Structure 1
Amino acid sequence: MDPRSSAQDVHRCDLCETAIVHSYCDFCHVNLCKPCVVDHISDEYDKHKIVPFQKRRSTLIHLKCETHPHRNCEFQSKDCNNMLVCSSCMASTQHKGHNFVEVTEVYKAKKDDIKKDTKELENNISPTYEDIALDLENQLANLDGGYDKLTTTISKQGEQWHRQIDFIVNKMKTEISEIKVKHKDLLQKHLNEIKQIQSLIKETLHALRKTEESTEVSPIIEYNSKNREFSKLPPKVEVTLPTFIPKAIDPDKLYTLFGQITPLSTATEENFLSLSQPNTAVRELLDEPELVATIQTGHKKLRNVTCVSENMIWTSGMANDVKCFNIKGSTLHTILTKSGVWPGDIAVDSNGNLLYSERETRTVNKVKRSLQTEELIKLQGWKPFNLCVTSTGALLVTLYSNDPPQSKVVRYSGSTEKQPIQFDDKGKPLYSGNGLIKYITENRNHDICVADMNAGAVVVVNQSGKLRWRYTGHPSVTENKPFNLRGITTDSQSRILTADFNNHCIHILDQNGQFLRYIDNCGLDHPYGVCGQ
């Protein structure tokens, strides 16, 4: 065992490895004995920080200022994305009027967060993952047993079928035997009748020969012919053999009649761990948004985007094509609209089929995975625009009519209208009558969220269609240009994100309509369609 790390030995110097430690370099993080201190700081005295061993790791090591290398960055500028600065920078014109906070305060706060996170990981999160892992291991251990039971059940069903088939076969053989006896009796009866007639004919022939040889007059004169009687043949009996008409075996029907194996069902539900830190949901938002990928779609004016999976998206713009890309930007499919005009909106249903709306034909169309297009919904008097597939597989469609100008949201199950949403409790329209864009999404709490462009508002109703709240922008964002919203989506925490076309940003709200923050430093330029995944 290394004596320096032995719990029963004292700490040793990291340089000579023999002497007992006396001091500690808080800059280099090494143990030092008295003689080795001089050797350690001989290269560059100023950069080292020698403290008593008991006070090790007590000195904060600040970054050196790039502008003023002789000074440490001991402050943070809140107005420059939390940039670290020195005291000389604070006095410069670049940071005039800025709000500063001491780095030591931020350091202490972060240290407290680290301690809380460590405790949370050790006492809550890590044990939870251990429980999940144990549950999965138990499921794997019991997997063979479960499938063996299924196989046994199928074998028993096969044995029952074999017994039934054997019973049917034996029953039919018995029926054939009984029919054979009847058949034989009929033929035997007819044969007996024929043989009886044959016997009479034989007797008659014998009598005729004797009479023919006789010279007596009286028997000859009294003779009466029986040939007419014998010429009347008895009815001919024809008994046809029974036949067996086998029914054709349809393997598909037979498979269905035998039983049914349900497909493998995988139910994935959100599994949230309750953490002790306050404002966890808000803290989960990245301080700095991260750009994951950029895809060149080729659309002159990109309008809509919807996710099939994390690695596949559909996009559309002001052209008559809808394109499918992988996350690397490679084009997988291209679909042309039936009308030859750009689609109002696109969505993907629970089966992975593409849906798109066409105002000119007043239809919502479905493109199957085979890339065949079929008409899903045909409207009269109304035109479809924006689409949303709900968590239950229903379809929400925003509709508008120009005569008179009015808009509504309709829930469909397949092609059947289930729920129109148009007015509030006072009979007033929920949405602006203008047919302009009304992007729509469903939140995790089943609220229906509409970005009403003409009204300049996010309008949220509950599952029953009752108005919950409206959001018309936040002063910190819309003080220069009006709130001009386009696309809308939600995340796993029921937060709502909507694109602000004029202000080049994304507004983030909680499920109750409270403004949380906005995203504006990701190179956004007139954002339009947004989609959560």
Structure 2
Amino acid sequence: MLYVIYMYLENVSTKYGKCYHVSWAFKSQYLKMDPRTSAQDVMRCDLCETAVVQMHCDTCLVNLCTACIGKHILTGESKDHKVVKFQDRKSTLLYPECTTHNKERCKMHCKQCNIPVCISCIESNQHLGHELSNILRILDKKKDIFKKERNELNETIYPTYQDIASDVQNKISQLEKEYGDLSTAITKHGEDWHREIDKLVNELKAEVDVMKNTQLQTLQKYLDEINKTMSDIKDEIDSIEMAIDTNDLSNLFTITSNVQRYRNLPSRIMLSLPKFIPRKLQGEELTKLFGSLSSRSLTSDKHGYSMKTTQKSPEAGSSPPVKQLLDQPKTVTTIDTGYRELYNVTCLSDEEIWTSGFDSTMKLYSINQGSLLKSITTKSGNGPQDIAVTKSGDLIYTDSWDKTVNIVNNEKIEEVIRLKNWRPYGVCSTSSGDFLVIMDSDDNKQSKVLRYSGSTEKQTIQFDDKGKPLYSFRHYDIHYITENRNLDICVSDSGAKAVVVVNQAGKLRFRYTGYTPAPKNKPFSPRGITTDSQSHILTADDNNHCVHIIDQDGQFLRYIDCGLSRPWRLCIDTNDNLFVAQCLNKQVKKIKYLYSI
């Protein structure tokens, strides 16, 4: 800090001529002061550096003794020195020097040129016809501005940064706690696995002991029988030996040989031992069995912090509150639609939903009452492939057969886009007011996503970085599309059996191909897709009669079942309630799956 003050005074001395004693004054008053006794030091003259300060030059910012006043004035003859008593320093206004006229001071200000001007400038007609003001007025205005800015810094900006620092510090503390809890949970899960593995190992070893003892008993019994036979054979040998050595012919004829019985050897024991067949686990497979970490993120909210103020501002941006997934999602209500087959649902508001199905009628229902409020028939009479609601609340739908995208405004249908050689399928409205359409070519060889502003094409998304198609393109493939909170573009691709997610620029981020075991153990069959305030991606799975929830980086989080029957299209209201259009039973289910804040 002392060095900064020193350099400042050096600059002052340079700016105002040959008053080089300023730097020496700084040295004598600051650099040579003993910090422990500085309060008792006497200020000395900047010129002679010995006498006590009595006067001050407001022009040159130099401290002087009475004896050095004349010497100081002579060192800068071209300057208009303002020497005052030391206690009255800074009492004299120091007008700026004119950059055009030497020795002149500017007491006026030219509004058009936005520069200070002196009397000579005015007399020279350089500012003829310009609006001139007393420079003191400009000074007062600038001071008022500075005062307001100072007050804003003191009362609003600095306290806001204090709150931001506190918020970040709280997040650091929360991060430490959460990661500690995470490590503890993983350790506990590992201990559970160890207990279960130890239990399994002990059970297998006990089973081995039982099998061993059973076979040992069998073999021992067999061995006992062989040993008895061998003993009988020895007795037989002894009998024969006696018969051979005897001279008693009567006994000889009474002895009979049992050799034939012993020639029939017993069956051979075939030993069949059990084998332990370990299941080889690959790292990825073991991770799936043990459990995995969801993705971590450290991102910035585009809305940022809001400035601290004593008034509540409805315009102030804020991050969405964090909501946790319910352990058991709950069905709130069910709405019968009466379609032959129900395909689409989209939220007009938290009280009303649009639906469409096998026929050409789009129906508006009251959610709470389940009653039909309005019906609109498509312009062509074809059934809509997909429906969505724009930011302004208008209904938009795609007509694959007619190759058009249409908007319904006050029950009047306006054709926005007519395609050639392409059939539109899924459609969604974006946060910017654009809308995205995914479409297939007539020859079933291409699929792509187009971004539109009104009827103007703004962006095409079709290939990855290697030039390979991002989306499947068979005629019967089904595509739905939505935009996530982070502006990612999410497409459910039934042909690829995947959810394909690209960023706002169209660069592939990831593909989600399902999670096993699925509720019905059938292949992943994605249909409708939507996102919520937490940037979760929700996808209907037609084959497994459920909804997959994944995070914004493609990590599986949970299934929603709730007795769903062939879920097709999905939508989310502003309170993160999920609406599921069920194809065959023609019902829309409203499901609560997040904790309310």
For normalisation by structure 2, the TM-score amounts to 0.43
Relative to the length of structure 1, the TM-score reads 0.48
Tell which has more relative contact order, 1 or 2 (C-alpha 8 A, sep 6+): 2
